[in-house]
């Protein structure tokens, strides 16, 4: 890949449905933002400042790391799934216990994978906050003092690698289990394709999670993490620390006593501490942030 291809590759995220900044997800979030807060999401000061510039730097730099380190790992998911199926056959004997309607199987697999990945995201995210060595890398994401949809890509390579391994492990485990249990064939497109439930999550204004637009889900926040709840998670206020670790589902936070509803709450500033505003250079963040 030459420098020009590297420069333009992130722009193709706008046309890839598995990316959070897919054009349709941005469109729905933008329309909701206009309805709720007018032009707040489209402020020039929001998109052009030191913190937002660091977001963009991480986005472009991580593309190299993702393509050369992460993609080869994720490509092994089908192979690992087949290995898990073989392991289960050796351990418990030949599987293929049930055969059900193919469409029903796809829905069941998609839903199960979504639940498994969502719980995995919660556990890894929880660990990033609770294990001091991991926090220094996750703190890069939390060091953002302004939030835009591109803040999603403000992640340290160590965090990106761990999240990719989590996705690979859960995806392979779930796929291998379904291949073992059901007679129906599970295609590569179903194993590696865009998850329907993730698509629904992304189209439901998920890009407002990293934004100043306050959107709560009222009592539904006991089930689903709203954009406002994720903004609470990024709040610089100490009373909001270690709250709302969940990605899509709130049931994990409820179970771990870390759920905080958005009703009655407000966020006045984002970041990890008062020094966050002085840590807005890529050089300062490369080795992680001690706080």
pLDDT per residue as tens digits for the range 121-151: 999 999 999 999 999 999 999 999 999 999 9
Q: Is 282 helix (H, G, I), strand (E, B) or coil?
A: helix
Q: Are residues 21 and 150 in contact, defined by beta-carbon separation less than 8 angstroms?
A: yes
4-59 pLDDT, tens digit per residue, is 555 566 666 666 766 767 777 778 878 888 777 767 778 888 888 988 988 988 88
CA-wise closest residue to 251 among 221, 226, 208, 230 = 221
Distance in angstroms (rounded) separating the CA atoms of residues 242 and 257: 10
| ∠ CA 152-204-61, rounded to 5° | 15
Q: Are residues 6 and 60 in contact, defined by beta-carbon separation less than 8 angstroms?
A: yes
User: Mean of the pLDDT values across residues 59-76?
Assistant: 79
225-252 pLDDT, tens digit per residue, is 999 999 999 999 999 999 999 999 999 9
* pLDDT value for 187: 63
Asked whether the predicted pLDDT for residue 169 surpasses 90, the reply is yes
User: Mean of the pLDDT values across residues 248-269?
Assistant: 96
pLDDT band for 158, please (50, 70, 90 cuts).
very high
pLDDT band for 62, please (50, 70, 90 cuts).
confident
182-197 pLDDT, tens digit per residue, is 887 776 555 555 566 7
* pLDDT value for 272: 85
* pLDDT value for 239: 94
* pLDDT value for 241: 94
List the chain domain ranges: 15-216
Q: Name the H helices within the chain.
A: 3-8, 23-37, 44-47, 50-65, 71-74, 77-92, 102-130, 132-142, 157-181, 188-192, 196-203, 227-233, 251-255, 282-285
Residue of 232 and 280 predicted with greater confidence: 232
Distance in angstroms (rounded) separating the CA atoms of residues 268 and 288: 25
Mean pLDDT for the chain?
A: 84
CA-wise closest residue to 226 among 204, 257, 256 = 204
Max alpha carbon distance in the chain (Å)? Answer: 62
* pLDDT value for 198: 74
**Torsion 213-226-124-19 (CA) sign:** negative
Asked whether the predicted pLDDT for residue 222 surpasses 90, the reply is yes
Residue with tokens 């492990």, as numbered in its chain: 169
Q: Are residues 250 and 221 in contact, defined by beta-carbon separation less than 8 angstroms?
A: yes
pLDDT band for 64, please (50, 70, 90 cuts).
confident
Helix axes 196-203, 102-130, angle to 10 degrees: 60
């Amino acid at each position: 890949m030459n420098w020009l291809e590297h420069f333009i590759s992130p722009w193709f995220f706008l046309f890839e449905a598995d990316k959070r900044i897919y054009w349709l997800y941005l469109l729905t979030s933008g329309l909701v933002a206009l309805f709720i807060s007018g032009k707040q999401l489209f402020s020039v000061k929001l998109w052009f400042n030191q913190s937002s510039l660091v977001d963009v730097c991480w986005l472009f730099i991580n593309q190299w790391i993702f393509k050369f380190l992460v993609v080869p790992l994720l490509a092994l998911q089908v192979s690992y799934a087949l290995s898990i199926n073989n392991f289960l056959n050796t351990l418990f004997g030949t599987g293929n216990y049930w055969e059900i309607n193919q469409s029903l199987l796809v829905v069941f697999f998609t839903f199960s994978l979504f639940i498994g990945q969502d719980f995995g995201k919660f556990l890894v995210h929880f660990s990033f906050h609770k294990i001091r060595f991991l926090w220094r890398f996750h703190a890069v994401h939390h060091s953002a003092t302004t939030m835009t949809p591109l803040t999603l890509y403000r992640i340290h390579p160590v965090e990106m690698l761990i999240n990719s391994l989590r996705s690979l492990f859960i995806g392979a485990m779930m796929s291998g289990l379904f291949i073992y249990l059901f007679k129906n064939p599970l295609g590569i497109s179903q194993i590696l394709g865009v998850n329907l439930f993730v698509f629904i999550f992304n189209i439901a204004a998920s890009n407002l999670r990293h934004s100043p637009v306050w959107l709560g889900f009222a009592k539904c926040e006991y089930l689903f993490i709203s954009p406002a709840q994720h903004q609470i998670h990024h709040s610089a206020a100490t009373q909001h620390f270690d709250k709302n670790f969940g990605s899509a589902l709130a049931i994990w936070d409820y179970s771990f006593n870390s759920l905080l509803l958005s009703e009655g709450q407000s966020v006045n500033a984002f970041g990890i501490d008062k020094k966050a505003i002085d840590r807005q250079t890529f050089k300062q963040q490369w080795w992680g942030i001690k706080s």
